[in-house]
Amino acid sequence: MKKLLIYLKDYKKETVLGPLFKLLEASFELIVPLVVASMIDLGIGNQDKGYIGRMCLILAALGLIGLICAVTAQFFAAKAAVGFAAKLRHGLFAHIQSLSFSQMDKEGTSTLITRMTSDINQVQSGVNLVLRLFLRSPFIVFGAMIMAFTVDVKAALVFVVVIPLLSVIVFGIMLISIPLFKKVQEGLDKVLGITRENLTGVRVIRAFGTEEGEIEKFDEQTDILKKMQEFTGKISALMNPLTYVVVNGGLIALIYIGALRVEAGILSQGQVVALVNYMSQILVELVKLASLIITVTKAVACGNRIQSIFEIPGGMGSSTCTAESEKEDKTKKESPKEPVPCVEFNHVCMRYHAGGEEALTDIHFTAKKGDTIGIIGGTGSGKSTLVNLIPRFYDVEKGSVKVDGKDVRAYELTVLRDKIGMVMQKAVLFKGTIRENLLWGNGNATDEELWQALKTAQAEEFVLKKEKQLDEMIEQEGRNLSGGQKQRLSIARALVKKPEILILDDSASALDYATDAALRKSLKEMPGDTTVFIVAQRASSLMHADFIIVLDDGDVAGMGTHEELLSSCEIYREIYDSQFTQKKNELSERKTL
């Protein structure tokens, strides 16, 4: 939590002036009981109406000045807290953007969202209250005790007993509450995870009629969270009654001692009233302090959770090239006549975070510049995992992946990824115009280059039909486009980049056969030596490839051209036969009809 305070460095003035004005307000508040005591002893005791009137004016002036100080302090505290939260949120967002895929997988999306929203809001509230009350409340408590000693030493000894008791109660409950509030926030992560899962998968849930099961699952997790919050709330709720018992016990003792000393002529009635007022001030401030402690406890727990994200090292870490890879690189430099492969997988094994089994096992192949490589296999066979290793979204466990003869781990990530254009399985578009979405590929691209990319991606036709064409607005996640339109725009965005390596990760699944064929043809006719990796479920999408890799549960089941695999790879032949037999049957049925 302490490390997060660096985000307050631009608000040094506010963090000083806020508490300072609160201390000024508290100083004026401590004078009030003495003015009241003087009014009782001198004004009311002597029936001096003029003196009473002057004291009333002084009280009004003290109240007005205190109000001005309080409002000023609130302004500075709010400015510092909101500015701190904004900078912290920007910093956290930037750090999350630097995390690798494996790090994000480990933490979980729901946890990251909770820390960006709920946790930062709690920390903001904590900073605001600390700047307003953290100095004021202790100042009032100890100031009231000191002022009580100026009135009467013996009666003030009650304060000496009451204040340590209250401190034990407040800090004891705080120490118990901090770990409990951390567990509550972790429970909130789980509820958010279930909520996010249901919102993103609502269509699948309804399609399979599992609404009731999901509701039960959600209710179960919220009940757990509710019980945790209730238990934590009960612990925190002990603070107010316990402090009231101690303070009211102190008031009884103070009135009793005050009465004896008034009767003995040592104290006046006004001085007893002043002592009671000081004890009441302590009570009020301790109630505020109790609320502050609860909020600060939550803020500290949330701040520690945020700090744990900052402590995750960003990026993929330092280069981890093996000595063997470096040796191979030197050998290739010594023999420049041998053409360097565009992409080379050298006995690659890969395992996801905390995964029980390898996702890829001993993958070995090379792809030359200008080659088209098809990747096919059943669901979960490792197709996406394989292509994700090229831009180094994940790191290999064994072996090496090389681009232009250099291990991807030896590249700076920006340099490596500038060579690659990638279209993910799920087409992701952002709110903005078509032009703005395409310029993600290359911010300096001309309209002519954008239209060329759209033409190659078979998206030119439907964009031309739009009223504003390139300036047509796209809603968040492309909600106002069909699945095929989103995929084609995603492909065009990658083409605008003019990459050396183009990766299409099952990015034509929503296209019909004719559009898919036209897309493959236009990609083949692209100028330059772009190496294309196509991940697909359809055998027809890969038949034209220079060679095809068939994956089965992370292993290479076959590798070669379409014709070679039909004769040598049983898995590929089964995929081909199942798809083309089905297609022939559909065509014969249509002819019969």
pLDDT band at 593 (very low <50, low <70, confident <90, very high): very low
Do 71 and 21 meet the contact criterion of CB atoms below 8 Å apart?
no
Which long-range contacts (C-beta less than 8 Å, at least 24 apart) are formed by 37-43?
Answer: 37/151, 37/268, 37/270, 37/271, 37/273, 37/274, 38/270, 39/270, 40/268, 40/269, 40/270, 40/273, 41/268, 41/269, 41/270, 41/271, 42/270
Enter the DSSP assignment of 507: T
CA distances from residue 230 to 48, 300, 536 in whole angstroms, order as listed: 56, 20, 51
Dump the DSSP string for 168-197: HHHHHHHHHHHHHHHHHHHHHHHHHHHHHH
Residue with tokens 């065509």: 587
Task: Tell me the per-residue pLDDT of 206-255, one tens digit each, with 9 for 90 and over.
Answer: 888 888 888 888 898 889 888 888 888 888 788 778 877 887 888 888 88
Residues 6 or more apart whose CB falls under 8 angstroms from that of 379 comprise: none
Do 531 and 368 meet the contact criterion of CB atoms below 8 Å apart?
yes
3-state secondary structure of 358: coil
Q: Which two tokens stand for residue 363?
A: 């993958």
What residue spans define the domains of the chain? 2-310, 341-592
Percentage of the chain lying above the pLDDT 70 cut:
92
3-state secondary structure of 550: strand
Do 290 and 239 meet the contact criterion of CB atoms below 8 Å apart?
yes
Q: From CA 102, how far away is CA 389, in angstroms rounded? A: 12
**CATH code at 341-592:** 3.40.50.300
pTM exceeds cut of 0.75: no
Please compute, for residue 417, the number of CA atoms within 13 A of its CA located in the half-sphere on the CB side. Answer: 14
Indicate the average pLDDT of the chain: 81
Q: From CA 489, how far away is CA 495, in angstroms rounded? A: 10
Task: Tell me the per-residue pLDDT of 46-103, one tens digit each, with 9 for 90 and over.
Answer: 777 888 888 889 888 888 988 898 899 889 988 888 988 898 888 888 888 887 777 7
* Burial bucket for residue 183 (CB in 10 Å: 0-12, 13-18, 19+): middle
Q: From CA 519, how far away is CA 164, in angstroms rounded? A: 78
- Poorest-confidence range of 127-131, 388-392, 414-418, 524-528? 524-528
**CATH code at 2-310:** 1.20.1560.10
